[in-house]
Amino acid sequence: MRVLFFTDSYFPQINGLVTSIDTVARALSQRHRIWVIFPRAVTGVRYKKPYFTMGLLSIPFLLFPEYRISFIFSFRVLVLLLKNRIDIIHTHTFFSLGIMGLVFAKIFKIPLVHTYHTFFEEYLHYIKLSKKIGRKIVSWISRLYCNQCDRIIVPTQMMKKVLWGYGVKKDIVVIPTGIPFKKYQQGDKRRLRKKMGIPLSSPVLLYVGRLAREKNIFFLLDCFREVCGQYNQVYLFLLGDGPLKKDVRQYIEKNKMDRIKLNGFVKQNELKDIYATGNIFIFSSLTETQGLVILEAMAAGLPVCAVAFRGTKYILPEKKIPGISPVNANKKEMIREIIYYLENYRKKHNLFKTNLKKYIQPFSIEHTTATLTDLYKSILRQ
C-alpha cells in the first residue's frame, strides 16, 4: 500500500504531534511505502528515516514563528503523484499542507483520511481572540475541512464528541496513538543526573512537555514547592522549552527553588535516558487530545500522577491503580498522590511496574498500525 502523509509539523520541531507522525510512519513503513510531506525548516537538511520524506519550501508562520507553512501547491508533489499509484492521502493538518493534500486527493480521486490531533480552542489566547469568536472560527474551519474527507481519525472519544459538536458529519474513528515500548526502556539513569547535579539517591519528579500556558505548568511548580516542605531531597526535572521558560526561571529564582532543574528538548534517541532519570512522572495539562508523554512514561515504567481532564481522562484509568493516579485539577489531590509514590516507590516498585505493563498493552504501536491498516483497506474496498 502507498500512503502520503501531509503535515505542517515535523522535525526539527519536537512535540507530541511530530512524535506521533514519526512513530506511525516508521511502523507502517515496515509493510507499506510511506511518504511524509512537510515544510522544510532548513535548506539542505535531510532526515534519515525508514520511510520517504519530502521537505518543501516554507516560511515561518506569522503567529507562531517556531512553526512553518508551505504553499498549497507543489510541482514536486505533483510529479510524485504522477509517477506513483498512491492509495491513500492522510493529512495531519488542515492548514497549508493539509489544503494541498485535500486538493490533490480531489484531483486524483484518492481517498482522503485526516487525523485531528489538536484541540485548537485552547490555543486561542496566542492570537488574542475571545473564546466565543475563536470557537466559531475553529468550529467552521474544522467542519469545512473534515466534511471533505472520507474518514476522520481522533485519538480519544473526547475529540470525537468535540467534532460532533462542530457539525462534522463524516465517519469518525477513535485510534489512540501507539507507543513503541522498547524505545523508552533501559535508559541510563546516571548520565543526566550527573549533568544536572542530581544525586543518584534523590527521588526525581519528571515533567516532559512544552513550558506553555496551556500545559498548566505553574500548577506543578506550586505542588512541588509544597512537597519540598516535607521532602528535602526531592528534585523536579522539567524537560521542554516554550514561551513560559523565562517566567519559570523567574519563579525558581523568586522562590529559591534550586531543586528545580530545567532542560530544553533533547534528541529522540535520548528520551529513554530522560525517563530513566525520573522516579515519578507528573502532568497537569488541561488541553491534551491524548497526552502522549503519559504513555511514554508508563512504557518506561514510571508511576504517573496526572490530571484527568479532556484527552488525558480517556487514557487514564477511572480510578487509581497502584502506579497510575488520575487526579482532578486540585493541588491537594496531586500533592497527596506525589507523596504516596515518594513514600512507596522503592518498596512497591515491582507492583507499580507490573500494573503499568499490563495497563499499557492496548496502546502499543503494533495495535495502532494494525487498526490503521485495516481502516485503510476498508476505505479502499468501498
* Domain definitions of the chain by residue range: 2-178+364-381, 181-363
Tell me what pLDDT residue 143 has. 97
Task: Name 48's Cβ contacts closer than 8 Å, sequence gap at least 6.
Answer: none
Tell me what pLDDT residue 60 has. 78
Q: Is the pLDDT of residue 100 over 80?
A: yes
**What does the mean pLDDT of the chain come to?**
92
This prediction's pTM: 0.87
For residues 69 and 61, the answer to whether their CB atoms sit within 8 Å is: yes
- Examine domains 2-178+364-381 and 181-363 and report if their fold is the same: yes
Half-sphere exposure (Cβ direction) of 54: Cα atoms closer than 13 Å: 17
Q: How many residues does the chain have?
A: 382
Place of cell 512537510: 38
Residue-wise pLDDT for 51-85, tens only, equals 999 999 988 776 665 678 898 999 999 999 999 99
Place of cell 523565562: 246
Q: How far is Cα 193 from Cα 190, in angstroms, rounded to an integer?
A: 5
For 289, phi then psi, to 5°, come to -85, -20
Sign of CA dihedral 73, 75, 79, 82: positive
Task: Name 24's Cβ contacts closer than 8 Å, sequence gap at least 6.
Answer: 177, 178, 365, 368, 369, 372
Q: Is the pLDDT of residue 129 over 70?
A: no
Q: Is the pLDDT of residue 121 over 90?
A: no
Least confident of 12-21, 40-49, 222-231, 322-331: 40-49
Tell me what pLDDT residue 62 has. 64
Least confident of 12-21, 123-132, 148-157, 297-306: 123-132
Q: How far is Cα 236 from Cα 207, in angstroms, rounded to an integer?
A: 8
Over residues 20-34, the mean pLDDT reads 96
pLDDT band at 124, cuts 50/70/90? low
Q: How far is Cα 286 from Cα 283, in angstroms, rounded to an integer?
A: 9
Over residues 363-380, the mean pLDDT reads 96
Residue-wise pLDDT for 249-274, tens only, equals 999 999 999 999 998 877 777 889 99
Q: Is the pLDDT of residue 376 over 70?
A: yes
Residue 185 region, left (φ>0) first, then alpha (ψ -120 to 50), else beta?
beta
For residues 119 and 287, the answer to whether their CB atoms sit within 8 Å is: yes
E strands within 302-356? 304-307, 324-327
Choices 3.40.50.300, 3.40.50.2000, 3.40.470.10, 3.40.50.2300: CATH for 2-178+364-381: 3.40.50.2000
Can the peptide bond before residue 12 be classed as cis, meaning omega within 30 degrees of 0? Answer: yes
For residues 110 and 90, the answer to whether their CB atoms sit within 8 Å is: no
Helix axes 245-254, 217-228, angle to 10 degrees: 20
Residue-wise pLDDT for 148-185, tens only, equals 999 999 999 989 999 999 999 999 999 998 999 999 99
Over residues 181-191, the mean pLDDT reads 92
Which of 328, 229, 257, 315 shows the shortest CA–CA distance to 286?
328
Choices 3.40.50.2000, 3.40.50.300, 3.30.460.80, 3.90.1150.10: CATH for 181-363: 3.40.50.2000
Cell of 43: 535548506
Q: Is the pLDDT of residue 44 over 60?
A: no
pLDDT band at 12, cuts 50/70/90? confident
Task: Name 343's Cβ contacts closer than 8 Å, sequence gap at least 6.
Answer: none
Tell me what pLDDT residue 45 has. 59
Q: How far is Cα 23 from Cα 155, in angstroms, rounded to an integer?
A: 14
Q: How far is Cα 83 from Cα 80, in angstroms, rounded to an integer?
A: 5
Cell of 323: 502506579
Buried b (16+ CB within 10 A) or exposed e, 252-288: beeeebebbbbbebeeeeebbbbbbbbbbbbbbbbbb
> In what helix (H) or strand (E) does residue 29 lie, and over which residues does it extend?
none
Residue-wise pLDDT for 329-341, tens only, equals 999 999 999 999 9
Least confident of 90-94, 101-105, 186-190, 370-374: 186-190
Q: Is the pLDDT of residue 14 over 90?
A: no
Place of cell 475571545: 130
